[in-house]
Structure 1
Amino acid sequence: MTISELVITLTIISILAVFVTSTYSNYATRTKIANQVSLVTAHARQVYDLKKDGKDFYLNFDNSTVNDYGAVTKNIGESGANIIKGNAEVMIRPEAVDPDSVRWRCIVYGDGLSESSIPNHCILGSSIFFRILKDNNMLIMIGVKFIKIIHSSVIGLSLVVMKRLNFGITLTEYLIVVIMLQS
């Protein structure tokens, strides 16, 4: 084997190693997040059932919070469960479908996360979008009444206003807010 063949072989092995390492890292992150989503969903269902029945509950779940509407949030970043480097949170929130049923929406926010590093059924949101959901649960009733009469031109105008105010929300996130408020 000549030196040039050895160099070519090492180059090919190095390229494959980089590809395999990045793929495995993404898979490992996605699996860890999916595990946390499963745990948070189980707790969210318990909380929702207790709140629906008007009963008190105690959230005995590390690094988690619940808002007034039954959305359960878990910190999976370095300051929380330490699953993801940096800041990261998972939220499972209920959405009414019929009077006696509920649909669960998964939203993930995190530094350095991409669509490929979260479960398929989850939405990847920015920190501001996540904070809106966590703190205000979609701008509550004022937003609901406004969204019932909203038109596409109003969506465009309000998005421009939000960007001018440096609100930091994307069109996709804004439309998700609109859809969630309508349901």
Structure 2
Amino acid sequence: MEPFIRDGTHLRTGRPFKRLGGMRSREALANWLLCVTVNAVDQRKLTFSSDPTGGDGIIHDEASGDTWLTEHVYIPPRSAADSRDLKALILDAIEQKRSKGGHAYASGKTLVVFLDAGTGMWFPNRVARELPQPLHFEAVWAVGLQGVSEGVYTYGVTLLDATEGDAPTYIVCISVDFDLWEVIIIQ
């Protein structure tokens, strides 16, 4: 995934990968970020693969055999005319997917919001507390590039669930050589 991360154009506009069942590079990256985050925090062995039913990937727990279907929504860079804040963009994207088919569409799936909307602050707890009800999805995660410094790519990964206090938020730092990564717990 290194070439797609280094040249973010493919993450925005790249064609789906035939070998990954139509998964896009941003979907593969987001699924990988979820796997490495949960693996580091919970000492699990999650992997991901394409979804033969046409979804945006399957996350698989090697130890338990459990699987999670993923559905992704992409928030593109904002146009100059779009004055909505990131919170509104995230909630609008979630509502777009939630209303697509309601319970029948979302049940049993994990929604992943890929943020490419540019800079700006947003507060995961506030977004988590304003999720639409019924949500229909089993869980909602938000992932997005936080920055690049000296060749190290830093991604934010947040589970939008504040039922136990703060929405779990992590940073994944990918090394310059793309051979190592570190997961840092933020909250």
* TM norm. shorter chain > 0.5: no
Question: Which has a greater percent of strand?
Answer: 2
TM-score (norm 2): 0.30
Q: Which TM-score applies when normalising by structure 1?
A: 0.30
Whichever of the two has the greater Rg, that structure is: 1
